Amino acid sequence: MNSTAVLSVEAMRAAEQAAMNAGISEWELMQRAGQGAARWVMRMAAGRPVTVLCGPGNNGGDGYVIAGCLHAKGYKVRVIAPVEPKSETARKARAAFDGEVMGRAALTDPVVVDCLFGYGLSRNAKGEFANLLEELAASDCYKIAIDVPSSVESDSGSVLGPLPRYNLTLALGAWKQAHFLMPAMASMGALRCVPIGLALNDASDQSTTAPRLTAPAADSHKYRRGLLAVVAGSMPGAPLLSAEAAMHAGAGYVKLVSDHSHPDAPADLVIEQDLDAVLEDERISAVLTGPGLGRDDEARKRLSRVLGSGRPCVLDADALHLLRPDMLKGADVTKLCLTPHEGELATLCESFGVTLQSKLDRARRLHDVTGMTVLAKGPDTVLADREGMRFFPRGSSWLSVAGSGDVLAGIVASRLAVHSDTMRACEEAVWLHHEAARRAAPAFSASDLACALIPAMASFL
């Protein structure tokens, strides 16, 4: 079975070294990778001629193994290699391939397999490598990237050269971080992982799989299912949207704490004004604040009261701009969940002294320095928590709509009200958000998205 482990380059090299220490040679690992990838290539090529682009490292070595497998099966296959292989194992793979190898040729075959660089890409692809990648980008052939697309930096997902749009990307041995990060992720097409027998059980960073939700217990009542308070502020629309989403994501009872009149609120949403009275209710199992909270003194006071309540909390939007380290004194940070988008993540990093650049590093460090669960949302949402990083498959690009984040915060809070586990709540929420988008697509509004949560919930029961 495929592992869900997601490895940095350093962790990948360590896993491969551990396999070699256990007696599996690099040559054997390359055979497993190349043969496994070749099975996918043949499935996609279905008899059509194939060109394999081979680079100087072991990714190129994989390419020679793939070409050899295709050759042995009677495929018309040729290798284009702008340089001779440099690593010993790749040289051995090159020597073992007895088909056609060219330094340069036009990309005329209907299927092209890109093995120029894997996780060893260390600088911008230039010269003949860049020319080949540009030509590949312009071609309408079926494109398969081996391990990672050759201009993609494996740890950050940043792009160091011309980036074709691939139909299929075959991760070798384990997922790399770039498989879940933008901008790289958008170019990879379908993603599959080819196992090569690495021991990955200790990996802390994982890709997530669809959650299993459960129906309320047979003897449940509304409080036992979870009572959520959504604490509004100066603007009425956003917290109402969060509350409506929360009503469809599992909590038994959602209260909106707001001074606004909310004429459009559904009849079954309870609206109260007295924040202190609501927070004193022993039955409150989670609180959400931030959407529409505002950023003035009154908003800061409301946030402090929410944090002082000691309840599991989701902080989003304005709350993330107001949050300061001193507000967390005495708080049980393991009950707190932050749901920043890129801009809010930058603000939080400033407030908490995190100076790293990439979204992944920032989210990880923000969790490490604060202890809070950090769900850094966006087209490449990542979750940082006590057990490590969690990654998600690509969601619908139609989620880029106003109010989408308010809906997500409402879902996280609803799930938190159900079971009080911040990390699990975030994982479930991202999947529910994606599934609601899939069901509401294409051009939905945020309130359509909140409604589509009802059938989305059914997908995970």
Does residue number 33 form part of the binding site for ligand NAX (CB under 6 A)?
yes
Does residue number 55 form part of the binding site for ligand NAX (CB under 6 A)?
yes
Question: For residues 371-403, b (16+ Cβ closer than 10 Å) or e, as one string?
Answer: bbbbbbbbbbbbbbbeebbbbbbbbbeebebeb
Does residue number 120 form part of the binding site for ligand NAX (CB under 6 A)?
yes
* 105-134 binders of K ion (CB under 5 A): 114
Classify strands 336-338 and 373-376 as parallel, antiparallel or unpaired. parallel
Which C-beta is closer to ligand NAX: that of 123 or that of 212?
Answer: 123
Among 68, 173, 250, 405, which residue interacts with ligand NAX (rule: CB under 6 A)? 173
- Segment contacting ligand NAX (CB under 6 A): 55-63, 213-221, 384-392, 438-446? 55-63
- Segment contacting ligand NAX (CB under 6 A): 103-111, 121-129, 276-284, 333-341? 121-129
- H or E element that contains 244: helix 237-247
Residue with CB nearest K ion?
150
Size of the site for K ion (CB under 5 A): 3
Does residue number 119 form part of the binding site for ligand NAX (CB under 6 A)?
yes
Does residue number 26 form part of the binding site for ligand NAX (CB under 6 A)?
yes
In whole angstroms, give the CA distance from residue 432 to residue 427: 9
Among 6, 80, 121, 338, which residue interacts with ligand NAX (rule: CB under 6 A)? 121
Among 58, 89, 150, 373, which residue interacts with K ion (rule: CB under 5 A)? 150
Which C-beta is closer to K ion: that of 13 or that of 283?
Answer: 13
Element counts in the chain: helices (H) and strands (E): 14, 19
82 binding partner (options ligand NAX, K ion, none; Cβ < 5 to 8 Å by kind): none
Reduced to 3 states (helix: H, G, I; strand: E, B; else coil), residue 7 is strand
Give the E-state strand segments of 46-164 in sequence order: 50-54, 77-80, 100-102, 111-115, 142-146
**Residue 62 in contact with residue 33, Cβ under 8 Å?**
yes
Among 124, 204, 220, 400, which residue interacts with ligand NAX (rule: CB under 6 A)? 124
Does residue number 146 form part of the binding site for K ion (CB under 5 A)?
yes
**Residue 432 in contact with residue 412, Cβ under 8 Å?**
no
Strand partners, 171: 193
Does residue number 422 form part of the binding site for K ion (CB under 5 A)?
no
Spatial neighbors of 57 by CB under 8 A, at least 6 apart, are 85, 86, 87, 90, 117, 118, 120
29 binding partner (options K ion, ligand NAX, none; Cβ < 5 to 8 Å by kind): ligand NAX
The nearest distance, CB 7 to K ion, in angstroms, is: 16
* 194-213 binders of ligand NAX (CB under 6 A): 196
**Residue 52 in contact with residue 79, Cβ under 8 Å?**
yes
The nearest distance, CB 239 to ligand NAX, in angstroms, is: 47
Which C-beta is closer to ligand NAX: that of 16 or that of 380?
Answer: 16
Which C-beta is closer to ligand NAX: that of 10 or that of 264?
Answer: 10
In whole angstroms, give the CA distance from residue 237 to residue 348: 24
How many other CB atoms are found less than 10 A from the CB of residue 189?
17
Give the E-state strand segments of 283-413 in sequence order: 284-289, 313-315, 336-338, 373-376, 382-385, 388-391
Torsion of CA 29, 61, 93, 26, to 10 degrees: -30
Does residue number 56 form part of the binding site for ligand NAX (CB under 6 A)?
yes
> What residues form the annotated binding site for (6S)-NADPHX?
58-62, 118-124, 147, 238, 292, 341, 406
Torsion of CA 130, 136, 139, 144, to 10 degrees: -160
Interface with ligand NAX (CB under 6 A): 16, 26, 29-30, 33, 55-62, 86-87, 117-125, 129, 146-147, 172-173, 196
Positions touching K ion (CB under 5 A) are 114, 146, 150
